[in-house]
Amino acid sequence: MIGYIVLMSVGFLILLITFIFGGIVDAFSGLFGGDHDFNFHVGDHEVADVHAGEGPNVGPSFFNIRAIAAFVTGFGAMGWLLTSLGWNAYLAALPSLGVGVVMALITYGITLALFKQQSSSSYSPKEIIGQKAELVIPIPPNDCGQIALVYKGARIVHSAKTQDGSAIPGGLVKVDAMYGDTAIVSRI
């Protein structure tokens, strides 16, 4: 019973720390996620070479620190509850394992949803080519102004100028090209 209480307490403490000091979790994320290479050998023969790298479709690992802490908390809490009700500590381990897995899956689902939300609002400046934008600072002749537009649910702002150096006093413009962080725009 004491073992279950210790597991529940340690797991909950880690969850609490990661909730309060979320940046610390990022420092340890490399332990369970990121870029990995696995080579499997049977004798002198390589039977598999697996590369799990970072790329556009990579998200948080199922084995992230929050999911592990949630598993340990759920396992410990259920084990403590069942042993308090008179169950044998060894028999309590199986339902506790199930509760731990469910807690880890819920935590992973929340983490994945947050990751997708974060990644969906990021963009490459070239993605806004062809979009309409509002000129918030007029473009003087042969100089830069500023545009603003809503893209992927976020308001973004860029410096803007015209291709031919002409002035645009205000209104809506179309983004024709991007050079670094500066938009080349034309009147609509």
Neighbour-count burial of 30, counting CB atoms closer than 10 A to its CB (0-12 exposed, 13-18 middle, 19+ buried): exposed
CA gap 26, 18 in Å, rounded: 9
Q: Which residues pair with 67 in a beta bridge?
A: none
- Distances 45 to 39, 42, 48 between C-alpha atoms, Å: 10, 5, 9
Check whether 30 has a pLDDT greater than 60. no
Residue 186 — very low, low, confident or very high, per pLDDT cuts 50/70/90? Answer: very high
147 C-beta neighbours (distance < 10 Å), count: 26
Per-domain residue ranges of the chain:
2-120, 125-187
pLDDT for res 181: 87
Name the CATH superfamily for 125-187: Nucleic acid-binding proteins (2.40.50.140)
Instruction: Convert the pLDDT of each residue in 123-154 to its tens digit.
Output: 788 889 999 999 999 999 999 999 999 988 78
pLDDT of 180 over the 80 cut: yes
